[in-house]
Structures are given as structure tokens and as C-alpha cells.
């Protein structure tokens, strides 16, 4: 059975049901560490939240702005190394260090964006990848970060697994909220217009460069923050691991499997990705091959991703970035009244003739 998306989303009972579901999920996340024998589940959900935040930022760029980046791992490395350097060498609080990682990510994004935004499509993707690879080589030869030897992030040793869990959950929830609010703003509408037809968007007055830059800066900041949180969890960082294409593979996999251009896609995708990687630890050496085969099979079966396919068939969206017009929108906007005035004016003109 196929439902009309607008009717379904506009149904009062459906709206209440969505709110109840969201409250229940948040409550379960808050109470999870209190359950007995939940240590493994807590560590798994910690990973899911970190990957979900990364997926939301990649989806913001690729799914809503049409900026398919293969270089977001650069900002993960910046965030991770900011945590290590500022908290160990400078003695700053780890949360201040994580925030500074986000700020430095934005500054780095500002430096490289003028050149990157001159590229489109596959050229933009390759350009971002080249920037990330160059940064990885730079970090591997930089004495400040101890070259490629790696750094034990001793400043995070005092944190318990439960505390790291709550940090990750807070990050995951904020990342979803930021993307949701952004996509329901004028900037979000402009981003989707640019993605669908840049020429038409520009002709309607959309400032393409500034809109893309704003979106890119938000993604840079939160990816840098997430990189810091990821390395709070890992507590050891090297250039080859922190600025690795493995992060981009994970983000791309999550968003494509979950549903690119949907709010729920990165959430579903992060759960699937973490569950698969946990299981595929049993198959060292061929785990990436298996993961790639699963991705190809999923794309063939559900080309729009899981949530994209569900939305196309049922109209269901748990977190819709779209504005749903109320049933009496014509009355609220005065459309019917304007129509009557036009018809009345037409009648008067015909009578005069």
C-alpha cells in the first residue's frame, strides 16, 4: 500500500507518534549504561554515535548540497591531533582542545575552499581527497606531532567508558539536530536548489558560493569535533590512521546504504556499519571485500538506500527536512481570496467590453 507522503506527515496522530518514538529513543540512550551487563552495548552505541555524527556531516555535503567529498578524513585528523597536542603539550582541558579542533578545521576549510569550489562533481571529490592526502604526508613529517610515530593521548585516561558514551551520545544528537534545523531554514532550501539545478538557483537570487561555504564550514567544524571525540575513545593517534580513506569509506557506506539525502539515512547506516564491522572482525584480510560486496548488493536492491526506498513507497519520514503545508494553506496565504479578486476583476472587464 502506498500512502501520500504529505497526508501521512500532516496526520496529527502520526506527528504525536513520531514525538513519542523520539522521546523513547532518547530515554533509552540516557538509561542504557544503568542496565546490568551493558558494557559491550555501551561501547557499541558509542561507536554508532560517533559514526552517525560523521555520516550526518557527509550527508549534509553530499546528500543536500551536492558536494561529494572524499577528503573529510582531513578534519578528523585535525580534530584528533588538536586533542592530543592541546591537551598534552599545552595542558588545556580536553573539551577545550576538542572545540579548538573544530575551530582549526573551519580555518583549514576556509583556506582550501576557494580552490575546491572552482571544481564540480568528480573533480571536487578528487580535489578533496588530494588535500587530505597532502595533509597526511605533512603530519607524518611534522615534529610538533612527533612525525608518524603516533601519540598516546594520556590526557583522556581519566574518563570512564560511561562518560565517553554520554559525550558521544550528546555529539550524535547535536549533529542530527543541527542538520535538521539547517535544512528547514532558508539556507537548507538554497542548498537543495543548488544541488538540483545550480543555474536555476542562481537565477532566483541564491548566492551559490556563500551558501556552499556556509554548509562546508558547518561540516568542517562538526567533523573536527567528531574527530576529537573519536580519539577520546581511541586514546592513540597516528597520521595514517586519523587521516585515512577508511573514514571516508565508512561515511560513504553509511549514507548510501541508509539513504542519501534523508535525515534518517546516516542513523540507520551507522547502526548497520558498526554491526557489520563488529562481525567482520572474524574475517581479517577479507573484511573490506565482504563489506564492498554487501554495499554493491544493497545498491542494486535498494538504489535509494533503505530510508529513501521506504519514503518513496510509503511517504514515511521520521525527521523530515521538508515543510509540510497545512490543509488550509490556501486560506492562510489568501490564495482563494486573491483568486476571487482576480475573477471579479475579469468579470468587470468583460462587462465593460
Task: Say if 308 falls within a structural domain.
Answer: no
User: For position 273, what pLDDT does the model report?
Assistant: 94
213 and 333: one domain? no
Q: Are 138 and 111 in contact (CB under 8 A)?
A: no
125 and 221: one domain? yes
Count Cβ neighbours within 10 Å for each residue of 78-109 and write b for 16 or more, e otherwise: bbbbbbbbbbbeeebebeebbbbbbebbbebb
pTM of the model: 0.86
Task: Say if 270 falls within a structural domain.
Answer: no
34 and 163: one domain? yes
Short-list 100, 62, 92, 329, CA closest to 227: 100
Domain-terminating residue out of 243, 261, 278: 243
71 and 188: one domain? yes
In this structure, what are the phi and psi dihedrals at residue 147, rounded to the nearest 5 degrees? 55, -135
Task: Say if 120 falls within a structural domain.
Answer: yes
Q: Which domain holds residue 352?
A: 329-353
User: For position 298, what pLDDT does the model report?
Assistant: 85
85 and 209: one domain? yes
Q: Are 76 and 226 in contact (CB under 8 A)?
A: yes
pLDDT truncated to tens, each residue of the chain (353 aa)? 444 444 454 566 667 777 888 899 999 999 999 999 899 999 999 999 999 999 999 999 998 888 999 999 999 999 999 999 999 999 999 999 999 999 999 999 999 999 999 998 899 999 999 999 999 999 999 999 989 999 999 999 999 999 999 999 999 999 999 999 999 888 888 888 888 888 888 888 888 889 999 999 999 999 999 999 999 999 999 999 999 999 999 999 999 999 998 889 999 999 999 999 998 888 877 888 888 888 888 888 888 889 888 888 887 777 777 655 444 444 544 545 555 655 666 566 566 55
Rg (CA), the chain: 23
Locate cell 565508512: which residue?
A: 250
Task: Say if 263 falls within a structural domain.
Answer: no
11 and 157: one domain? yes
User: For position 282, what pLDDT does the model report?
Assistant: 83
236 and 345: one domain? no
Domain-terminating residue out of 243, 275, 300: 243
Task: Say if 57 falls within a structural domain.
Answer: yes
99 and 231: one domain? yes
User: For position 349, what pLDDT does the model report?
Assistant: 57
Task: Say if 310 falls within a structural domain.
Answer: no
Task: Say if 235 falls within a structural domain.
Answer: yes
Task: Say if 177 falls within a structural domain.
Answer: yes
Torsion of CA 295, 300, 302, 305, to 10 degrees: 40
112 and 207: one domain? yes
Number of domains in the chain: 2
d(CA 125, CA 120): 8
CA 331 to chain centre: 37
Domain-terminating residue out of 213, 243, 273: 243
Amino acid at each position: 500500500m502506498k500512502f501520500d507522503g504529505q497526508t501521512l506527515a500532516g496526520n496529527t496522530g502520526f506527528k504525536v507518534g513520531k514525538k513519542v518514538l523520539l522521546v523513547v529513543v532518547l530515554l533509552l540512550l540516557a538509561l542504557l549504561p544503568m542496565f546490568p551487563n551493558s558494557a559491550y552495548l555501551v561501547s557499541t552505541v558509542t561507536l554508532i554515535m560517533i559514526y552517525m555524527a560523521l555520516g550526518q556531516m557527509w550527508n549534509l555535503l553530499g546528500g543536500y548540497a551536492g558536494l561529494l567529498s572524499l577528503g573529510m578524513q582531513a578534519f578528523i585528523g585535525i580534530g584528533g591531533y588538536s586533542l592530543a597536542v592541546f591537551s598534552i603539550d599545552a595542558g588545556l582541558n580536553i573539551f577545550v582542545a576538542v572545540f579548538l579542533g573544530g575551530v582549526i578545521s573551519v580555518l583549514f576549510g576556509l583556506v582550501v575552499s576557494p580552490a575546491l569550489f572552482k571544481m564540480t562533481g568528480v573533480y571536487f571529490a578528487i580535489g578533496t581527497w588530494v588535500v587530505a592526502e597532502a595533509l597526511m604526508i605533512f603530519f607524518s613529517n611534522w615534529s610538533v606531532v612527533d612525525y608518524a610515530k603516533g601519540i598516546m593521548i594520556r590526557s583522556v585516561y581519566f574518563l570512564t567508558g560511561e562518560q565517553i558514551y554520554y559525550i558521544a551520545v550528546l555529539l550524535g544528537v547535536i549533529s542530527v539536530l543541527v542538520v535538521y534545523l539547517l535544512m528547514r531554514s532558508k539556507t537548507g532550501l538554497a542548498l537543495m536548489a543548488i544541488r538540483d539545478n545550480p543555474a536555476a538557483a542562481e537565477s532566483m537570487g541564491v548566492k551559490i558560493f556563500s551558501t556552499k561555504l556556509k554548509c562546508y564550514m558547518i561540516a568542517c567544524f562538526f567533523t573536527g569535533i567528531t574527530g576529537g571525540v573519536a580519539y577520546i575513545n581511541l586514546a592513540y593517534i597516528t597520521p595514517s590512521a586519523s587521516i585515512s580513506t577508511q573514514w571516508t569509506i565508512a561515511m560513504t557506506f553509511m549514507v548510501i546504504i541508509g539513504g542519501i539525502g534523508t535525515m534518517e539515512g546516516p542513523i540507520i547506516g551507522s547502526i548497520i556499519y558498526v554491526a557489520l564491522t563488529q562481525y567482520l572482525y572474524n574475517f581479517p584480510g577479507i573484511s573490506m571485500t565482504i563489506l564492498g560486496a554487501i554495499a554493491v548488493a544493497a545498491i542494486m536492491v535498494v538504489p535509494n538506500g533503505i530510508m529513501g526506498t521506504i519514503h518513496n513507497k510509503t511517504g514515511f519520514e521520521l525527521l523530515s527536512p521538508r515543510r509540510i503545508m497545512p490543509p488550509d494553506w490556501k486560506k492562510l496565504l489568501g490564495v482563494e481570496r486573491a483568486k476571487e479578486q482576480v475573477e471579479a476583476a475579469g468579470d468587470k472587464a468583460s462587462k465593460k467590453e
